[in-house]
Amino acid sequence: MKKIATVIGARPQFIKAAPLSLEIANSGQLKEVCIHTGQHFDENMSGVFFRELGLPKPAYQLDIHGGPHGQMTGRMMEAIEAILMQDRPDAVLVYGDTNSTLAGGLVAAKLHIPVVHVEAGLRSFNRKMPEEVNRVLVDHISSLLLCPTSAAIENLTNEGITKGVHQVGDLMYDATLRLTSIAARHSRILEALSLEPKGYGVATLHRAENTDSPDALRKAIAFLVGLSEEVPLVLPLHPRTRKALADAGIEGTGSQLKLIDPVGYLDMHMLLSNASVVATDSGGVQKEAYFHRVPCITLRSETEWVETIDNGWNRLWHQEEYRPRREIQEYGTGDAAKRILELLRDAQL
């Protein structure tokens, strides 16, 4: 039986991993060993997601977080290398574009263990974003590249990567279909925050391009304050963003912009599904907004999820208008996990 080592560390990766990990466990065809780097360590950013998504506790919990990118990635690589040398999996599976993704991919490649990259081929074409650097590097060392869209496959083709490339749909859509009804039954976040369905918006803000510079952070908060004058906004605040606000001395965000602590996955889906608008710099939240058919504003100058723009569900914050609205077919029908399991089972890794 093939052994797959999965490296995860951040909230979006827990969500993507859940449908696939459950599919693997139920199949009896593969063995998965989960390595949690600890990149997101706050209980509301990590532990609660494992419970709500029905994931077993990781086999390895590294508790590595904080510090500059190089330091964090280096510490992760050292710890992951020791695990992989001991366990010798048949492949290492990584998700998305975080430092955990890069660390897992680099260590596996140097140990000559095949790398499987879920969400391969995404490009914002902005190399100032650490996430863009991570995803490009991991794509070029991967043996199996699992793409959510045809645009992702085209990006890889343009970079000369054609072997081992497959379009599989979007795992986050799998997770949304599975858990939205559960959220509706169990979440009480609307009552707790005194919110009426479609009477508020949801915002998230965490990317380095918006938080590492005080000027950029002021610009982003000013945009959200302005939007909150049109519709009250709820902003679950990432711990790093909260610290950046304090360090920059940014206060008085306005009575209509409500800052709250991070929320669990079920509560977040309840907030998103009942919102009238979403404003975010998160790639995952852009898609989740579409899954709930809520218009989105992306707090960036570009996005790797170009189909959300092209089909009128999303716009960049410097754009005034949405394009004509159409359904997005490429995210699949909620069967991405099944398709990935088949590829992992049959691939000659």
Is 269 among the catalytic positions?
A: no
> Identity (one letter) of the amino acid at 268?
M
Question: What pLDDT band is residue 49 in, cutting at 50, 70 and 90?
Answer: low
Query: Mean pLDDT, the chain, as a whole number?
Result: 93
pLDDT in tens, 243-276: 999 998 987 677 799 999 999 888 999 999 999 9
CATH superfamily, domain 175-316, is Glycogen Phosphorylase B; (3.40.50.2000)
Once rounded to an integer, what is the mean pLDDT over residues 314-320?
A: 95
* Residues 63/69/74/80 CA torsion (nearest 10 deg): 50
Q: What pTM was estimated for this model as a whole?
A: 0.89
Once rounded to an integer, what is the mean pLDDT over residues 141-161?
A: 97
Q: How many CB atoms lie within 10 A of CB 160?
A: 8
Predicted confidence at residue 179, as pLDDT, reads 84
Once rounded to an integer, what is the mean pLDDT over residues 330-337?
A: 95
Catalytic residue among 36, 40, 206, 238: 206
Name the residue ranges covered by the structural domains of the chain: 2-170+332-346, 175-316
- Residue 73: pLDDT above 90? yes
Once rounded to an integer, what is the mean pLDDT over residues 7-34?
A: 93
Provide the token pair at 157: 């083709």
pLDDT in tens, 180-212: 888 889 999 999 999 999 999 999 999 989 998
Residues in the chain: 349
Say which residue the tokens 């979403």 belong to.
278
Give me the architecture of the 2-170+332-346 domain, per CATH: 3-Layer(aba) Sandwich (3.40)
Among the listed ranges 52-66, 105-119, 121-135, 278-292, which one has the minimum average pLDDT value?
Answer: 52-66
